[in-house]
Amino acid sequence: MVGKILVVDDEPVVIKSCERILTPEGYSVDSASNGKEAIGILEKNGYDLVITDLKMPDMDGIELIRWIRNSRLDTGVVVITGYPSQESIRDALSMRIIDYLPKPFSPELLVEVTQKAMEWKKAGVVIEAPPHDEYSEEAARQLDSITKKYRNKPGSLIPVLQQAQELVGYLPPSLQKLIARGLNIPVSEVHGVVSFYSFFTMKPKGKHNVRVCLGTACYVKGAEEILKRLKDELNIDIGGITSDRKYSLESVRCLGACGLAPVVVVDKDTYGSVNRVKATDVLKEYE
């Protein structure tokens, strides 16, 4: 089984199609014919992905997505949309759905969108908040003018991603979607580049980003102990961010300052010969 999917649609033919197409691909597919039934099922079982219609008689798909966003953060959402639902797609996008399927959709498109949605999940992308927590309206406007400037220019994706990351601090799925639309390229292309280059990050950073080097030179001089101290002090794990968004913690392989090992870098400041006590003192400088 490559993933667990719940299909929600009031049209039995859509449910049957999804089951017929996705089951042979190795997915386990359950179904619900309306939003309320879907919530009942989701309350009892975990799913990797919910593929849902937006317009259903008893409960709007948007309401279902809102419930999923509040209660099932690790569940991805793909929306099925027909002509009458085109307006709602905007609301759905603002709730960070992974993608949408225009009705009627081909088996190939369904498989492609589902696979992509599963990739987001594997990439550890946590879908946790409405986009306005991630980037401001102003940032969205600036990004819009950046993508307009680069649209149809070859080799423009990396510079756009660099500018977007500078603007927002990281590249969450909703931002990648915005960039893909702006440049008129597939989201999968944007995601491929973001995942390939370590310079790009999909996770939010704190106001101060703390990086601990675990490269050989630092490791043999006790970097692991320092990392443990910082984890305890900040009460977060590697890749985490403190609840006040003040600090994030990362481990890196080599910071190119092996002579100073063990090394900790906070934002652009490098600290060498760090020990457990000094690690705590370093944090105090940013209080």
The contact set with ligand FES (CB under 6 A) reads 213, 215-218, 254-255, 257-258, 261, 263
DSSP 8-class letter at 241? B
**Given the complex with ligand FES, which of 17 and 251 has the nearer CB atom?**
251
Q: Is the CA virtual torsion 218, 220, 223, 226 positive or negative?
A: negative
178 and 143 in contact (C-beta within 8 Å)? yes
Q: In the bound complex, what is the minimum distance in angstroms from residue 251's beta carbon to ligand FES?
A: 10
Q: In the bound complex, what is the minimum distance in angstroms from residue 224's beta carbon to ligand FES?
A: 12
**Given the complex with ligand FES, which of 25 and 250 has the nearer CB atom?**
250
- According to DSSP, the residues that pair with 99 across neighbouring strands are 78
Taking the C-alpha atoms of residue 232 and residue 69, their distance in angstroms, rounded to an integer, is 30
Residue among 273, 287, 196 nearest 244 (CA): 287
Taking the C-alpha atoms of residue 79 and residue 121, their distance in angstroms, rounded to an integer, is 16
**Given the complex with ligand FES, which of 172 and 215 has the nearer CB atom?**
215
Q: Tokens 């369904």 correspond to what residue?
A: 110
Q: In the bound complex, what is the minimum distance in angstroms from residue 235's beta carbon to ligand FES?
A: 25
Output the residue with the shortest Cβ distance to ligand FES.
215
Please report, for residues 24, 103, 147, 149, 166, the alpha-carbon distance to residue 154 in angstroms, rounded to integers and kept in the order given: 38, 32, 12, 12, 21
Q: In the bound complex, what is the minimum distance in angstroms from residue 261's beta carbon to ligand FES?
A: 5
Q: In the bound complex, what is the minimum distance in angstroms from residue 210's beta carbon to ligand FES?
A: 14
**Given the complex with ligand FES, which of 171 and 255 has the nearer CB atom?**
255
155 and 191 in contact (C-beta within 8 Å)? no
As a whole number of Å, the CA-based R_g of the chain is 22
**Given the complex with ligand FES, which of 179 and 210 has the nearer CB atom?**
210
Q: In the bound complex, what is the minimum distance in angstroms from residue 242's beta carbon to ligand FES?
A: 24
- Of all helices (H) and strands (E), which one includes residue 252? strand 247-252
**Given the complex with ligand FES, which of 14 and 260 has the nearer CB atom?**
260
